């Protein structure tokens, strides 16, 4: 402003100290710390945390997984509406495949019991529920398969 608008030199400011930008270093657990945490967990909690660690999932991403997001053939997981509301594909840790399949068997049994009792519907966005009337009770759209077993 001084140079271009007022046509005057700004002058020297002696002793001026510029503010430094704070460097945020992310906190990352070592492999030993992760092993110690996983050794304290069991069941679905162990499976969920192992999947988060092995695939790099965030907490809400892992809780929002649907059955149809797992691709066992290509060993990938489709994460929908992740950070920045973007979809991404992450790797599926091979040691967890059999554990996830066993978990899905248990979840499917509970799902069929819930449907028989008149429950078992899941949240579906409004436009999809209009396009596909019975989609909220389909197995592939089962939402939050981990919470399904944890809550019971």
Predicted TM-score of the model (pTM): 0.72
Residue 42, token pair as written in the block: 């069991």
Contact status, residue 48 vs residue 146, Cβ threshold 8 Å: yes
Pick the more confident residue, 145 or 71.
Answer: 71
What are the distances in angstroms from CA 22 to CA 15, 19, 29? 21, 9, 22
**Of 15-24, 75-84, 141-150, minimum mean pLDDT range:** 141-150
Contacts (Cβ under 8 Å, ≥6 apart) of 58:
52, 82, 83
What pLDDT, in 10s, does the model give residues 7-20? 887 777 777 788 88
Give the sheet arrangement for strand 70-71, strand by strand.
70-71, 76-79, 88-91
Average confidence (pLDDT) over 124-143: 81
pLDDT at 39: 96
Binned at pLDDT 50, 70 and 90, residue 146 comes out as low
Say yes or no to pLDDT of 44 above 80. Answer: yes
Say yes or no to pLDDT of 41 above 90. Answer: yes
Tell me how far the alpha carbon of residue 125 is from its chain's centroid.
18
Helix axes 97-116, 43-55, angle to 10 degrees: 130
pLDDT at 152: 43
């Amino acid at each position: 402003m001084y140079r271009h608008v007022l046509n005057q030199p700004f002058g020297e400011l002696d002793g001026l100290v510029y503010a430094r930008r704070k460097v945020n270093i992310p906190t990352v657990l070592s492999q030993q710390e992760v092993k110690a945490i996983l050794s304290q967990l069991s069941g679905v909690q162990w499976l969920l945390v192992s999947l988060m660690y092995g695939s790099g999932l965030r907490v809400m991403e892992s809780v929002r997984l649907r059955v149809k997001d797992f691709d066992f053939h290509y060993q990938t997981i489709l994460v929908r509406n992740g950070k920045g509301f973007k979809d991404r594909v992450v790797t599926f840790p091979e040691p967890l495949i059999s554990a996830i399949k066993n978990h899905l068997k248990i979840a499917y049994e509970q799902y069929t019991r819930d449907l028989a009792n008149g429950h078992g519907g899941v949240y579906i966005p409004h436009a999809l529920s209009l396009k596909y009337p019975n989609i909220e009770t389909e197995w592939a759209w089962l939402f939050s398969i981990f919470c399904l077993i944890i809550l019971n």
